[in-house]
Structure 1
Amino acid sequence: MGASVYLSKPGVLCAAGSNADELWNSVTDGKQDGIRKVTALNGKTFFAGRIADDVLCKPSSARYDMRIMRIEELCLRQIESDIERVKTLYGAEKIGVCVGSCDNGTEFSLAGHRTYFKSGSFPSDYSLEIQGADYVAAFIREKYLLSGPCLTFSTACSSSAGAIVKAAELLKSGICDAVIAGGVDIASDTVLMGFDSLEAVSSEITNPFSKNRHGITLGEAAAFFVMTRDMPEGNAPFARLLGWGESADAYHMTSPEPGGDGAFRAMKSALASAGLNAADVDYINLHGTGTKFNDSMEAKAVDALFGARETPVLCSTTKPLTGHTLGAAGALEAAVCFLSIVNNIGKAAGEIKLPVQVWDGVQDEQLPFLNIVSKGKNCAAGKVRVCMSNSFAFGGANSSLILGL
């Protein structure tokens, strides 16, 4: 893989916490306070991971003030000192931006189209610019006066994992000396109603890998890292992106390849790029959406790659705590892996904590066994130095990241 790629402590905002430390407390304690009942425009009620309105603030430099920009603004403020540090070190032209997101201004576009259908014209302040995929990345570039590459990735649930991969490639190529990378997405009415039309939304809080699972719980989040080739200065916590793997099985527009071949190839490629074996991975943050087919194929893929280990690899999905945050999921769950590594440095085996999966504990006997870290169950980890984060999206856009020390 060549030179190391370092990740700063992430900025985080989601239903499970307003910063990285709050997120860590929630995922290790199994707190589901941020999963709430919400009512969409069609009158249907859903469970969703929602960020409290009172923590959000108006973006400082956005041309359009909307929910997704308020979430992104507050998240970026958490890593602003790191952004300004690398800007001073390397110059604005050597700092890139890579953002994963699936939202294209739905908050404004939905209202704008309702006005259009009613009156025959859009509101006077409506602009197609807000529906451009690039807006969430352009906002960062403009906010911090950067002039390096500015890219947005929209590959559904693997969007921000792909953004992190591209950031690493920009660093390794020498095109950039630092990259602000991550993702942001919202659980808008369009998203809630769209997934409901696919019959993919659970009527209860999502229950992944259970025999009794009924689908996903959606959520919203932002998570961003400052990524560099140089180790962060001082005593700031950091982890390295050891490797990554991507695949595109293109089996179906929404349904995953049933055997898990695409997921398997992404994970296997990640291990190969990191120069690691399956036995080296201490924890996997599973994609774990709670749908029948996605959980099935992921369990098969994990078993195919890790099933021969003497000790089953520890794993969990944190989506019952955050909701499925779509384009932000890859970055948010990479942040969970980052915290799993840095918060367990120097801990004895009995002191180690890992993210727990809140579920009913009834494993689906039709799926291969998964060694799931559950609430109230000792995680039994001797060390946490290498973590894998999986993101498997619509259209077979699969990504797997490996973080370590």
Structure 2
Amino acid sequence: MSPLAVRAFTATSALGRGLEAHAAAIAGSRGGLAPNDFSTTALPCWIGRVAGVEDEPLPGEYAQWECRNNRLAWLTLRQDGFIDAVRAARERYGASRVAVLLGTSTASIGATEEGYRRLENGAMPDDLQRPAIHTPHSLAGFVADVFDLEGPCLTVATACSSSAKVFANAERMIRLGLIDAAIVGGVDTLCDSVLFGFNSLELVSGEPCRPFDADRNGISIGEAGGFALIERAVEGDTSPLFIGYGEASDAHHMSTPHPEGLGAELALRDALARAGIEAGDVDYINLHGTASQKNDEVEAALVARSFPATTRASSTKGFTGHTLGAAGILEATLTLLAMRDGVVPANLGARTPDPLCGPQMAWQSEQADLRIALSNSFGFGGNNACLAFARQGASA
């Protein structure tokens, strides 16, 4: 694949707003998880909540899109020069040549939940009779409206791999000449459906999650938003590069990964091949690492058998929680920051390493020259994605 430039990127999570807040948290190994204060009835767990979302409504011109998910999107778009970068791309290429390709797991379902809690004579209350928010496409529609874009507008909802798989969609559309640039990313916010749904599967931990710990007992759910602008790289470019991706579906079980990680391995091998690199070229892997029993078991074994000891690997979900459909873009952002700053994130939360983990695991933060990195995103139903990134001059 021809490398694409990551022209701008940004993220918001429990670690804070914008790139520097995330970089500082990673450098200081400071997590953002806190006891659950969000659900409408008590659920003893820890969450990664973004502070202040409820205090910042959308501007009046976007009133039809008003909901927590789009509020978080609006906060995130207005950071790190992202709006200016998109407007410049629109000016260069035209409104019909910039795509909006976004991933989400639950979209604005929190607003729909609220409507059902406040039914008026069996109907949605008047203030929530806004059809645009009661659909999985709410997020992408809102972002396209903000930038007045007319190009392809696509929502990907493949659970936890959603906002990783949009990178693949963007590459294909650019390569085929359908577009010249794409806004990729995703947003997922906390809601009862997510918290109690995962709890019903006995996947939610009563304490901060501990990825790859021998005694891990479940996930911590978080919320996040993130966006990147990608386009063809040009000579003299200094932007980080998106150099490859892999996708696979193992279709083993609705919520449990294949016991031998076959789909995950297919996605990994596909990403390496498309990027034109070998496993030994990879300096860092941001692991999916949810702290669930099966996911970490499968991923730890995959990394241990596939990469040399010099490759560093860690999960950042101990910092942010599992942000579901936003995990792909959030962890891609953290991967790009790790490469920029030469900081391998700690595998926060783990106290006793799982014996399946190999020497690749970085249990504490490390300084390293990170030229090429991967980011794994493995969703329910075996929706697996792996993204490959490189610094300028480092790709094969």
TM-score per shorter chain, which class?
A: over 0.9
Distance between the aligned counterparts of 1:56 and 1:174, measured in 2?
42
CA distance in 2, matches of 1:143, 1:83: 11
Moved more, 198-207 or 38-47: 38-47
The alignment status of 1:6 with 2:8, answered yes or no, reads: no
Match of 2:362 among 334, 355, 373: 373
Q: Secondary structure at the match of 2:289?
A: coil
What is the rounded CA distance, in whole Å, between the counterparts of 2:180 and 2:212 in structure 1?
A: 41
Match of residue 248 from structure 1: 249
Q: Write out aligned runs for 1:160-309 (5 A).
A: 160-231=163-234, 238-306=239-307, 309=308
- AA aligned to 1:282 is D
Paired residue type of 2:385: S
Name stretches of at least 5 consecutive residues in structure 2 with no aligned partner. Answer: 392-396
**Structure 2 counterpart SS, 1:391:** strand
Tell me which amino acid in the other structure corresponds to 2:281: D
Query: CA offset at residue 120 of structure 1?
Result: 2.5
Counterpart residue number, 2:24: 25
| AA in 2 matched with 1:107 | G
Distance 1:112 1:5 in 2: 42
Q: What amino acid does structure 1 have at the position aligned with 2:56?
A: C
SS at match of 1:12: strand
Report the aligned-residue RMSD: 1.9
Matched with 1:100 is 103
The offset of 1:104, in angstroms, is 3.5
Q: Distance in 1 between matches of 2:70 and 2:268?
A: 32
Counterpart Cα distance in 2 of 1:374 and 1:232: 38
Give SS of 1:45's match: coil
Do structure 1's residue 391 and structure 2's residue 391 form an aligned pair?
Answer: no
Task: Tell me which amino acid in the other structure corresponds to 1:300.
Answer: A
Give the 5 Å matches for 1:4-153. Answer: 4-53=3-52, 57-60=56-59, 61-62=61-62, 63-78=64-79, 79-116=82-119, 119-125=121-127, 126-153=129-156
Identity rate of aligned residues, in percent? 34
Preserved CA contact (<8 Å) 1:170 1:176: yes
What secondary structure is seen at the aligned counterpart in 1 of 2:16? coil
Kept in 2, the 8 Å contact 1:15–1:35? The answer is: no
Deviation of 1:233 (Å): 8.5
CA contact (8 A) 1:261 1:301 kept: no
Please identify, of 107-116 and 11-20, the stretch whose mean Cα deviation from structure 2 is larger: 107-116
| Range moving further from structure 2, 354-363 or 274-283 | 354-363
Contact 1:58 1:65 in 2 (8 A): yes
For 1:391 and 1:39, how far apart are their aligned partners in 2?
Answer: 26
Q: Residue 98 of structure 1 contacts residue 180 of structure 1 at CA under 8 Å; is this kept in 2?
A: yes
- Number of paired residues? 386
TM superposition score normalised by structure 2: 0.93
- Matched to 1:359, the amino acid is G
Contact 1:207 1:359 in 2 (8 A): yes
Q: Residue 36 of structure 1: CA displacement?
A: 3.9
Match of 1:238, SS? Answer: coil
- Structure 1 contact 8–232 (Cα < 8 Å) conserved: no
- Tell me, what secondary structure is at the counterpart of 2:126? coil
Q: Determine helix, strand or coil for the equivalent of 2:327.
A: helix
Please give the alpha-carbon distance, in whole angstroms, between the structure 1 residues aligned to 2:27 and 2:37.
Answer: 25
Determine which of 324, 327, 342 is the counterpart of 1:326: 324
Q: Residue 329 of structure 2: SS of its match in structure 1?
A: helix
1:354 to 344, 364, 371: 344
SS of the residue aligned with 2:45?
strand
State the one-letter code of the partner of 1:183: G
Runs of 5+ consecutive residues of structure 1 not aligned to the other structure? 345-352
Structure 2 counterpart SS, 1:289: coil
Alpha-carbon separation, structure 1, partners of 2:250 and 2:325: 19
Shift of 1:260: 0.8
Asked if 1 retains the 8 angstrom alpha-carbon contact of 2:53 and 2:71, the reply is no
In structure 2, do the counterparts of structure 1 residues 231 and 204 end up closer, same or farther at CA, with 3 Å as the change threshold? farther
Q: Distance in 2 between matches of 1:241 and 1:275?
A: 12
Instruction: Specify whether residues 368 and 357 from structure 1 end up closer, same or farther in structure 2 by C-alpha distance, changes over 3 A only.
Output: closer
Is residue 2:366 matched to residue 1:363? no
| Distance in 2 (alpha carbons) for counterparts of 1:11 and 1:168 | 19
